[in-house]
A and B are shown apart, each in its own frame.
Chain A
Amino acid sequence: MNINLTLLGQTISFLLFVWFCKKFVWPPMVNAMQDRQNQIADGLAAAEKGQEAQEVAEKEAAQMISNAKSQAAEIIASAEKRGNAVVDEAKTTATSEKERIVASALSEVEQEVHTAREELRTQVSSIAVAAASKIADKEIDEAAHAGLIEDLVKQLKAS
C-alpha cells in the first residue's frame, strides 16, 4: 500500500497508451467504420432508387399493355366490320351477278327460240316453195296431192 514510483510509471504508461490509441488505433478503425456506413447508406439509397425505377417501369409496362389491348380490340372490331362489309358486298355483287347471268341466259334462250323460229320459218317456207314447185310440176292429183301433203306434214313434223 505504498505510494512509490509505480504511480508515475502508471501515469506515463497511461498517457502513452492514450497517445498510441489516438494516433494508431482510433483513426483507421473509425475511418473504416465511417466508410462502411457510407457504403451501406449509398447501397440503401441505390436500392430505393432501383425500386422506384422498377415501380415506374411496371406502371409503364401496365400502361403499354392496356394500350396494346385497346388497340387490339379496336383492330379486331374494325376487322370484323370490314369482314361484314366484304361479305355484304360479296352478297350484293353475287346477287346482281346472278340476276345478270339469269337475265342474259333468258335473253339468250329467247334469242335461240327466235332464231329457231326464224329458221323454222325459212325452212317451212322453203319446203312450201319446194312443195309448191313440185305441185306446179306434176299437176294436181288428188291422190298424189294427198300423198304430197302428207309428206309435207311429215316433213314439218320432223323439223
Chain B
Amino acid sequence: MASENGELTGAGYINHHLTNLTYGQFPDGHWGFAHGAEEAASMGFMAIHVDSMLWSLGLGVIMFWVLRRVAKGFSADKPSKVQCFVESLFDMAQDSKDSTFTKDAKNEWIAPMALTIFIWVFFMNLMDLVPVDWIPELAKLAGLEYMKIVPSTDVNVALGMALAVFIMILYYSLKIKGPMGFTKELALQPFGKYLIPFNLVLELVGLLAKPLSLGLRLFGNMYAGELIFILIAMMYSAGIGLGVLGGFAQLGWAIFHILVITLQAYIFMMLTIVYLSQAHEHH
C-alpha cells in the first residue's frame, strides 16, 4: 500500500481510511495488530476489527446508559427534554411494531428490539458525520495506525446484526410453526407438492436473501457515504479554491447524510420487524 512508507497519495489516503484496526492471528500463528490491509486480509477469519467493536459497543453502552437513566429518573409531571425525546423514540418503536407486526402472534421482544436497532444503528451511522480525519489523526498520535470510527461501514458489523436477525427468524419460525411446519412452508410453496425441489431452492434463496440484503443495504449505503466524505476531505489538500469548495461539499453532504443515516436505521428496524412478523405467521 502506498501509505505504508508514509507517502501521502490519494489512493493511500483512501485506503488508510478504509482499513480497520485489526487484531488477529498471523499466518505463522502469532497474534498481533495487522499493519496494512494485506496483512489484515492474510489473517482470514481469525481476526477482529478492534475499532469497529470498540466504537459499536461504546456507542451501545452510552445509548443504554442514557436510556436507563431516563427510565429511572422518569418524571410524569415535569419531563425533561431528554425524557420527552426518549419517550418519542419509545413511542416510535411501539408504533412501528403495532403497525407492522402480525396481529396473530404476541411477542414482547419485538418492540424493545426495534428500539435497540433503531437507536444503535442510528448512533453507529451518526459517527459518519464526524469529520473523517479528526479521530484517525488523534489515534495516530496515540500510536494506533488505523481507526475507522463508523462501525456500520464495516461489512462485519452490518452483516453481524443481520446474522442476529437471521438467527431470530430461524428461532421463531421453528418455535411458532414447529420443525415440520417450517419445512412444509419451505417445501410446499409456491408451486405445491409436485415441485418440492424447486420450491425448496426458491424458498431457501429467499430466506437467505433476507439477512444478506438487510446487512448489505446498510453497509452499502454507509460505505458509499463514507467514501464520499473521504473524497471530499481529499479536496482540502488540493489548494485553497478546492478546499473552500470541499468545505461546502462536506456541509451539503453531511446535511443530506442526516437523512440517510436516519432512514437506514429506520429501514433496518422496519425490515427486521417485517421478517420476524413473517416468521410468526402461519400460511
Inter-chain contact A4/B57, CB cutoff 8 Å: no
Kindly provide the distance from the CB of A13 to the nearest chain B CB, expressed in whole angstroms.
6
Residue of B nearest to A1 (CB): B155
Kindly provide the distance from the CB of B84 to the nearest chain A CB, expressed in whole angstroms.
11
At the interface, yes or no: B134 with Cβ under 8 Å from chain A?
A: no
A7–B157 alpha-carbon span in the complex (Å): 6
Residues of B within 8 A of A14 (CB): 116, 120, 160-161, 164
A34–B230 alpha-carbon span in the complex (Å): 46
Please tell me which one of the listed residues A3, A10, A28 contacts residue B45 in the complex, with CB atoms under 8 A apart: A3
Inter-chain contact A4/B156, CB cutoff 8 Å: yes
Inter-chain contact B57/A13, CB cutoff 8 Å: yes
Kindly provide the distance from the CB of B90 to the nearest chain A CB, expressed in whole angstroms.
6
Residues of A within 8 A of B76 (CB): 32, 35-36, 39
Residues of A within 8 A of B159 (CB): 3, 7, 10
A30–B95 alpha-carbon span in the complex (Å): 13
Inter-chain contact A29/B90, CB cutoff 8 Å: yes
Residues of A within 8 A of B203 (CB): none
Residues of A within 8 A of B164 (CB): 10-11, 14-15, 18
Please tell me which one of the listed residues B22, B44, B67, B160 contacts residue A10 in the complex, with CB atoms under 8 A apart: B160
Kindly provide the distance from the CB of A14 to the nearest chain B CB, expressed in whole angstroms.
4
Please tell me which one of the listed residues B45, B68, B115 contacts residue A4 in the complex, with CB atoms under 8 A apart: B45
Kindly provide the distance from the CB of A154 to the nearest chain B CB, expressed in whole angstroms.
125
Residue of A nearest to B40 (CB): A2
Residues of B within 8 A of A13 (CB): 53, 56-57, 60
Chain A at the B interface: mostly helix, strand, loop or mixed?
helix
Q: Which of A19-27, A80-88, A92-100 contacts B (4 or more CB under 8 A)?
A: A19-27
Inter-chain contact A30/B90, CB cutoff 8 Å: yes
Residues of B within 8 A of A3 (CB): 45, 155-156, 159
A28–B112 alpha-carbon span in the complex (Å): 12
Inter-chain contact A29/B86, CB cutoff 8 Å: yes
At the interface, yes or no: B74 with Cβ under 8 Å from chain A?
A: yes
A17–B161 alpha-carbon span in the complex (Å): 11
Residues of A within 8 A of B64 (CB): 17, 20-21, 24-25
Given contacts A8-B160, A14-B164, A21-B116, contact A29 B45 (CB under 8 A): no
Inter-chain contact A17/B116, CB cutoff 8 Å: yes
Inter-chain contact A18/B60, CB cutoff 8 Å: no
Using CB atoms and an 8 Å cutoff, list the residues of chain A in contact with chain B: 1-11, 13-15, 17-18, 20-22, 24-26, 28-30, 32-33, 35-36, 39
Selected A-B contacts with CB under 8 Å, 5 pairs: A5-B24, A6-B20, A9-B156, A18-B164, A21-B64
Q: What are the 3 A-B residue pairs with the smallest beta carbon separation, nearest first?
A: A10-B160, A6-B156, A26-B112
